[in-house]
Amino acid sequence: MWSSIAAAQRVVRIETYIWKAGIVADRFLEELHAAAARGVRVEILVDAFGSERLGPAYFRSLQGAGARVVWFNQSRYFRGSFRNHRKLMTVDGHLAIVGGLNIGDEYDGDGIATGWRDFAVELRGPIVASLDSSMDQMFQLAGFTPMAVARFARRYLRHHDVDRHSTGLLLSGPGTRSGRLQRVIRSDLAAGRELSAYAAYLLPTWQIRRAMRAVARRGRVRLITGAQSDVPLVRWAAQRLYPFWLRGGVALYEYQPQIVHAKLIVLDDVVYAGSANLDIRSLRINYELMVRIPSRSLAEQVRQVFDGDLTRSERIDPAEWGRHRRWWQSLRSLWAYLLLVRLDPFLAGRGLRRPS
């Protein structure tokens, strides 16, 4: 990303959920300031909830160099419910980088010895124009007023359906075609025979859960989640579903060296990469982007990385899971599950009816 910014000639655009002050963020500011100083147009869209620790003066020097910085959904009451969770950088209209990486020191490293385990992909070709167009719409939506949401929805409806034979963009969030991301994933799962997925937060909708177990009956499903998490509440809730996965023949692994933050799926010869987790919030509430890439060579590359990470993970034994869990651990998992799967979507749904 830094080298792409340094090579930019016309425009650099960054959209991120978390921008956290530190060594990595300082390097981004330096590269972007240098780009702006040589006449490159610099645009940044930062989520107000995810990056709320930044002070109001943080970007002042960069803005003084001519950069445009916009905060997404600064509403005092609803920014916690409706978040722009997307992570995207485009350069000069011909290169894009998408994945799970926010801008923070914890993402610097190989995910084995240091840093969280996460991934991004570099894309070129027609998909970059689609990504740039989607970022245009997110900049226009940033105020998150009722009028902005309605305008966003009207423009989104003009998007074409995904072409199964070429790289395609899938979006989710209020105003997008309801459930489209889920429907495309479920359609691929319905015909799939081998699924390998990183799941930082493993709380998919019941439709996705059933479709994944159906793949396990036909072939093989392997899931890597984390033995540790940056959001313990989500891990507790996910453990509520461990019996469901294990009884359904799903091979479930917990990655040991570092926190897993990856959102990467390979299903037969199709790769999904982007910002969306396999959880309720990503699939139904957050603004997310996933790129669907039908590519046998990329699928094989991802599987090789995945197989390597299996050696760094512990498989959950169906015969042993739950045998030594205490009653309070089960109760904690139930409480976390109800909070994230039932209450959070309910409150977000109510808030959507009266955005401010």
How does pLDDT run across 262-295, given as a tens digit for each residue?
Answer: 999 999 999 999 999 999 999 988 999 999 999 9
Task: Say what the pLDDT of residue 322 is.
Answer: 86
Name the CA radius of gyration of the chain, rounded: 20
Residues of the chain with pLDDT under 70: 156-162, 178, 350-356
Output the six-digit token pair for 46.
């930062």
For residue range 165-176, list pLDDT tens digits in order.
788 999 988 888
Is there a common fold for 10-141 and 163-315?
yes
**Adjacency order of strands within the sheet including 120-124:** 68-72, 41-47, 11-16, 88-91, 95-99, 120-124
From the number of C-beta atoms within 10 Å of its C-beta (0-12, 13-18, 19+), residue 163 rates as exposed
**What whole-number distance in Å separates Cα of residue 169 and Cα of residue 292?**
6
Task: Say what the pLDDT of residue 356 is.
Answer: 44
Residue where the block lists tokens 């995904």: 162
Residue range 10-141 forms a domain whose CATH class is alpha beta
**78, 80, 85, 91 alpha-carbon torsion, rounded to 10°:** 70
Using DSSP, state whether 150 is helix, strand or coil.
helix
**What whole-number distance in Å separates Cα of residue 97 and Cα of residue 120?**
7
Output the six-digit token pair for 273.
């990469």
- At the topology level of CATH, where does 163-315 sit? Endonuclease; Chain A (3.30.870)
Side chain identity at 193, as an amino acid letter?
R
Task: Say what the pLDDT of residue 154 is.
Answer: 79
**Domain ranges in the chain?**
10-141, 163-315
Q: Average model confidence (pLDDT) for the chain?
A: 93
Q: What percent of the chain has pLDDT over 70?
A: 95
Residue where the block lists tokens 């002070």: 55
